[in-house]
Amino acid sequence: MRMEAERKLLVEYGKKLSGQGLTKGTGGNLSIFDRKSGLMAITPSGIDFFAIQPEDIVLMDLAGNIAEGDKTPSCEWEMHLQQYRSREDIDALIHAHTVWAGVMACLRRTLPAAHYMIAVAGKDVRCAKYAMYGSHELAENACEGMRDRKAVFLANHGILAGGTTIQEAFNVIVQTEYCCEVYLKAKEVGEPVILPDDEMARVAENFKGYGQKK
């Protein structure tokens, strides 16, 4: 079974995504791209995250062909592949139906830098133009909206986030969701003060040295 380690990670993080209330039902999908083989491992369509087994994960090539697996891949497979085709800094993606990012997506608003933690995704998070779920148009819109960022809102839909690892993609989802909630609640009280671009650039640079040193 190819990409066994990646399959196990997708099962693990799918359970985390659902278990922490970051998506609802079978909504959402996760993938990891192996640049050496040119294959993407992606979660199957319509299976509960707690029921997915490593052998249920589908492998696809960059042309969209199924390379391994007997399950139907997530209907958003093209949205994932489009990122891997165009981004060398993205090797894992998570799409989720989180509540507060979902609110921003329904409002079709950009999330500004009201909280410094949004630097995990960029200086802000844009909202991509609306398109039907699972469509080629949505894949194109998401790719454009996430340009130079690690997250994007999908209008009237949800959020897509990426990173060099599935762990980073998950962190971007978690922190962006938190920043959405803080921003929207702050708006109920007054007008949030937005951090300038140069400060966000400094924060992003500091993040490079965050955590335990290898």
Report the C-alpha gap between 161 and 101 in whole angstroms: 11
Report the C-alpha gap between 124 and 196 in whole angstroms: 11
Dig out the tokens for 136 from the structure. 């080629």
Residues facing 128 on adjacent strands: 154
Each residue of 117-133: pLDDT tens digit? 999 999 999 999 999 99
**pTM for this one?**
0.95
Report the C-alpha gap between 171 and 149 in whole angstroms: 14
Each residue of 10-38: pLDDT tens digit? 999 999 999 999 998 899 999 999 999 99
Domain ranges of the chain: 4-108+127-166
Q: Is 28 helix (H, G, I), strand (E, B) or coil?
A: coil
* 152 backbone dihedrals φ, ψ, rounded to 5°: -150, 145
Report the C-alpha gap between 156 and 133 in whole angstroms: 10
Report the C-alpha gap between 57 and 70 in whole angstroms: 9
pLDDT in the model for residue 102: 98
Report the C-alpha gap between 93 and 59 in whole angstroms: 14
pLDDT in the model for residue 208: 83
> 91: closest CA among 18, 143, 23, 41?
41
Tell the CATH superfamily of the 4-108+127-166 domain. Answer: Class II aldolase/adducin N-terminal domain (3.40.225.10)
78 counts as catalytic: no
**Catalytic member of 4, 6, 68, 76:** 76
Q: Give the CA radius of gyration of the chain.
A: 17
Match 């079709």 to its residue by tokens: 108
